[in-house]
Amino acid sequence: MAQIVCPYCLTPQTGRKISQCQNADCKVGIIPEEYVESVRRTPPIWLTMYGTTQHGKTATVDSMALWIETIGKIIEEASCDYLDDYTQEQVRLMRINDKEGLIRLESTQKGRRPLLIKVNNIIADREQTLIIYDLPGELADDVADAVEYAAAIRYAQTVWFIVSLDDLRADGEGRTLSTLFMNYQKTMKRLNAPVVGRSMLVIYTKADRLTRLLPPKVNSYIAEDPYSYLKSAPARDLRREYPFTMDSYMDNLAEISESLREYTIDVVSGGSDFVGRVKKADIRPLAFSITSALPMADASESAMGEIYRVRVLDPLLWTLHNGGEPVAKADSTLIIESGTQSADVFDTEVDQAVIDALRRLGIAVNIYFTGYSRPVTLKGSDEMKPVARRLNTIGPILDRLSDGERVILITKTEPYDLRDYEFSGWNKRLILIALDGTVADYWDRRIVWDDDLDLTDALTEYLQS
């Protein structure tokens, strides 16, 4: 179960019934029901697009939003939903522009309002909600403007770093890839938002202008995009000639990412410094992709007969595949068993009791299920249970948490790897709530669940000591 956060003002919401944002100052107010339902089942992916004006951010997001609509041609049973009226209206305008061969060169996203898009079954049996902020290009140059977008920038786990290398080459301000990144770091620092733990996808746009400069392997990859005619190609032909499997697609993406990384280091102005800085900042993973959303486009000529889009699915698929929970700091982490005995956890509603108790103590939590290294998918109407039975392990979660972070673990059976943490710092920082009194009786901070238990008192004792 994911915590519901207002997508407009980023305020965490409490209680079962959520419709009106609980922040009285929220400029939108109504949280769409479909969004709430979706996010209850699936923790969303927060995504910000960062890049200089005219480098192709808006064209990239337009292409992606339009391509999602037709992705069912490639992946059977894949579909998408727009979760609020604003997103529906934005996509409607994109469709009209697309039909008329018009390219949007500037975002019409008002204020800090995001696009809310839910995609279904692109990753097998998963619903994933994307919250996409197309940040104004001026942010890349003027850190002062960032404050208005602070919450979204802080919250986003994934950053799309949009760069038109062709425009960068001709840049009269002397900017390089490295200086763009330094501005990003400054923005994050000003917003008190550590970059550590975020993932970054560098998207080189306007690939059509670079063909003579790119490595042959990358050129071939661009030229051979089987989905460049996604809108007009019959689904049957696409599936027969280019059967899609996520694993092989991701393998190709990884290969091209590696080629672009080398290209960045060897050729792009400030490229080697950029890669070094990203590594030093501990942003992981760093990947590269390349798209062409408006071939032959020119800033002075925005109307064309036909819009031809190349590899615009790559950033989307990379993001869905890599997912990622919001990195906004919560006080603690709650881990709920998703193994063979997890039904008992959910049937007894211990999870909700713990969340309520923590709320009374003023503690916000990030929620995980065991066996997942990131927030998990819930399925259908059975919203309190994980979509798949997973291995009852906690290591892939604990190992990624920062020093000093507290964890509350609810489990009926002992995780495979709990003993790995005995006699470590976690013995004091992990509170284990056991549904079975025989489980992990060696654990220092253990609460055995009982219907009559005053959970708030029990948690307080451990949290304060």
Contact footprint for other proteins (CB under 8 A): 123-126, 247, 251, 254-255, 258, 262, 279, 339-340, 371-373, 388-393, 395-397, 399, 416-417, 419-425
Q: Name the minimum Å distance from CB 46 to other proteins.
A: 20
Nearer to other proteins, 101 or 425 (CB): 425
- Residue closer to other proteins by CB (options 95, 321) is 321
| CB nearer to other proteins: pick between 13 and 128 | 128
Q: Residue 85 is encoded by which pair of tokens?
A: 């009226």
Q: Which is nearer to other proteins, 306 or 403 (CB)?
A: 403
Closest to other proteins by CB, 91 or 335: 335
Residue number, 50 or 421, with CB nearest to other proteins: 421
Q: Strands of 430-434's sheet, edge to edge?
A: 365-369, 332-336, 406-411, 430-434, 446-448
Instruction: State in angstroms the smallest separation of the CB of 128 from other proteins.
Output: 11
Q: How far is the CB of 263 from other proteins (least distance, A)?
A: 13
- What does the alpha-carbon distance between residue 259 and residue 414 come to, in Å, rounded to a whole number? 44
Smallest gap from Cβ 186 to other proteins, in A, equals: 24
CB of 43 to other proteins, least distance (A): 14
**C-beta of 24 vs 124, nearer to other proteins:** 124
Q: Least separation, in Å, of the C-beta of 131 and other proteins?
A: 21
CB of 100 to other proteins, least distance (A): 39
Rank residues 115 and 394 by Cβ distance to other proteins and give the closer one: 394
Name which of 247 and 451 has its Cβ closer to other proteins. 247
| Least distance in angstroms from the C-beta of 9 to other proteins | 32
Q: CB of residue 372 vs other proteins: minimum separation in angstroms?
A: 6
Closest approach of other proteins to the CB of residue 302, in Å: 38
How far is 44 from 61, CA to CA, in rounded Å? 17
User: Can you give the three-state secondary structure of the chain, one letter per residue?
Assistant: CCCCECCCCCCECCCCCCCECCCCCCCCCECCHHHHHHHHHCCCEEEEEEECCCCCHHHHHHHHHHHHHCHHHCCCCCEEEECCHHHHHHHHHHHHHHHCCECCCCCCCCCCCCEEEEEECCCCCCEEEEEEEECCHHHHCCHHHHHHHHHHHHHCCEEEEEECHHHHHCCCCCCCHHHHHHHHHHHHHHCCCCCCCCEEEEEECCHHHCCCCCCHHHHHHHHCCCCCCCCCCCHHHHHHHCCCCHHHHHHHHHHHHHHHHHHHHHCCCCHHHHHHHHHHCCCCCEEEEECECCCCCECCECECCCCCCECCHHHHHHHHHHCCCCCCCCCEEEEECCCCCHHHHHHCCHHHHHHHHHHHCCCCEEEEECCCCCCCCEECCEEEEECCCCCCCCHHHHCCCCCCCEEEEEECCCCCCHHHHCCCCHHHHEEEEECCCCCCCCCCCEEECCCCCCHHHHHHHHHHC
Based on CB atoms, which residue is closest to other proteins, 56 or 371? 371
Name the residue type at position 83: L
Closest by CA position to 216, among listed 262, 173, 247: 262
